[in-house]
Chains A and B, each alone.
Chain A
């Protein structure tokens, strides 16, 4: 090529490369498949977020941590301290990834990030509530207890089945002047002493009540900072669920019954 040869325009050069077979267009199905993969990825991620959120709520209820905020600042502190922060961080990471994936769509990127993030969080919350209505977590928990849940078993054993310090769910077996005897799901008998500052329910505590006690334990005695009554439905699948199937720890000798005054 000498200096007198006019230089080709951009469109001529590009057309030459196209006609020369140097480049070829992707097929229509390539983009259909890509779009489908993106959609499947978003759905899979959303379902994972629903599962994790609903599991967090389930684990908090079964461990009894869910009920702690009613016991004042100490109970609220216990609640915050006992939250499964690792799972919460993992959920937030998944939500961020969801946000990034959905921003491929005009409906998402045309709105400020705050709106789409709030929308995703709202959907995640609603989806989790719907997910929680299913008996899935309860059945997975029982399977995890028997080591029959290969993948997520560690989640249930680690977060839902772990006994929480300061939280004692059980059934009132006997009343005493300074408290009552509590039988836990593991058939342990604890003596619950009600302190002066303890937060108590409006209704009177009686034998047979399902309760959750918040307090400090010393051997077989719990100094209660708060007691809350549980209805039978909440008790059935609530605090301590699944623990009755675990091997009981060495049981404490029950304290002698205190005479009623």
Chain B
């Protein structure tokens, strides 16, 4: 029997199947933990926060549109939860308004050797992620570790697609300063 898609399982959860929610959590637990550890660099509460993410996902499951992809929806909940944790700790400044979202920016096209390039960058990112601002760290984690597209990252962070490109580029520029 072919396995059900995330969206089909979410639909069953919406109809009342709590055990099916367990299947969704099993599929995403490792990803959420990785996302939490990489984004919340230096924060100890990753596991507690991931638990909160899943609880919020269950509480709000009726707001999920089964015609859309489940993954960005869950990551959006995780983004909000992690951002709240950062604000509560007050260790990192989070600007209220980001001027990068104001104007359009041309989006850089992906290069042919981008997969190899991605692998090389991942190892560098692992070392220096903690030195980056949360604003640049998060899109880098979503792009290089969670392998999200620009469009998916834009939906998770609720920013323009062109701003995703700007933040990735700036994050990589800062990263290059550290490992040069």
A25-B102 Cα distance, complex, nearest whole Å: 36
Chain A residue at minimal CB-CB distance from B158: A109
A170-B29 Cα distance, complex, nearest whole Å: 78
- Chain A contacts with B in 1-41, Cβ cutoff 8 A: 9-15, 17-19, 23-28, 30-31
Within the complex, which residue of B32, B54, B59, B158 is in contact with A24, where a contact is CB–CB below 8 Å? B59
Indicate whether A14 sits within 8 Å of B159 (C-beta atoms), given known contacts A30-B62, A115-B104: no
Within the complex, which residue of A13, A15, A110 is in contact with B21, where a contact is CB–CB below 8 Å? A15
User: Size of chain B's interface in residues, with CB distance under 8 A?
Assistant: 34
Tell me if A18 and B18 are in contact (CB < 8 A): yes
Residues of B close to A110: CB separation below 8 A: 154-155, 160-161
A113-B100 Cα distance, complex, nearest whole Å: 9
Within the complex, which residue of B18, B50, B102 is in contact with A10, where a contact is CB–CB below 8 Å? B50
Residues of A close to B50: CB separation below 8 A: 10
CB of A89 within 8 A of chain B? Answer: no
Tell me if B62 and A17 are in contact (CB < 8 A): no
Tell me if A114 and B104 are in contact (CB < 8 A): yes
Tell me if B104 and A31 are in contact (CB < 8 A): no
- Chain B contacts with A in 10-29, Cβ cutoff 8 A: 14, 18-19, 21-22, 25-26, 29
Chain B residue at minimal CB-CB distance from A15: B22
Contact with A along B98-133 (1 / 0, CB 8 A): 000111110000000000000000000000000000
Tell me if B102 and A11 are in contact (CB < 8 A): no
CB of B55 within 8 A of chain A? Answer: yes
Indicate whether A31 sits within 8 Å of B22 (C-beta atoms), given known contacts A9-B29, A111-B160, A114-B102: no
Tell me if B54 and A14 are in contact (CB < 8 A): yes
CB of A112 within 8 A of chain B? Answer: yes
- Chain A contacts with B in 96-147, Cβ cutoff 8 A: 103, 106, 109-115
Residues of A close to B19: CB separation below 8 A: 15
Within the complex, which residue of B51, B58, B158, B161 is in contact with A25, where a contact is CB–CB below 8 Å? B58
- Chain B contacts with A in 59-76, Cβ cutoff 8 A: 59-63
Residues of A close to B47: CB separation below 8 A: 10
Within the complex, which residue of B21, B32, B102 is in contact with A112, where a contact is CB–CB below 8 Å? B102
Tell me if B62 and A31 are in contact (CB < 8 A): yes
The interface residues of chain B, by DSSP majority, are classed as helix
Tell me if A14 and B25 are in contact (CB < 8 A): yes
Tell me if A27 and B25 are in contact (CB < 8 A): no
Chain B residue at minimal CB-CB distance from A115: B104
Tell me if A112 and B104 are in contact (CB < 8 A): yes
CB distance from B112 to the nearest CB of A (A): 27
A15-B105 Cα distance, complex, nearest whole Å: 44
Residues of A close to B29: CB separation below 8 A: 9-11
Chain B residue at minimal CB-CB distance from A111: B160
Tell me if B58 and A14 are in contact (CB < 8 A): yes
Residues of B close to A17: CB separation below 8 A: 55
Within the complex, which residue of B54, B62, B102 is in contact with A113, where a contact is CB–CB below 8 Å? B102
Indicate whether A112 sits within 8 Å of B59 (C-beta atoms), given known contacts A10-B54, A18-B21, A103-B158: no
Chain B residue at minimal CB-CB distance from A17: B55
Centre residue among A9, A11, A17, A115 by max chain B CB count within 10 A: A11
A114-B99 Cα distance, complex, nearest whole Å: 10
Chain A residue at minimal CB-CB distance from B26: A11
Residues of B close to A28: CB separation below 8 A: 14, 62
13 residue pairs from A and B, CB less than 8 Å apart: A10-B50, A11-B22, A13-B51, A14-B25, A23-B58, A25-B59, A26-B59, A27-B62, A109-B154, A111-B160, A112-B103, A112-B160, A113-B160
Give me 8 other A-B pairs in contact (C-beta within 8 A), A10-B29, A14-B54, A26-B62 excluded: A10-B25, A14-B25, A18-B55, A25-B58, A25-B60, A31-B60, A112-B103, A112-B105
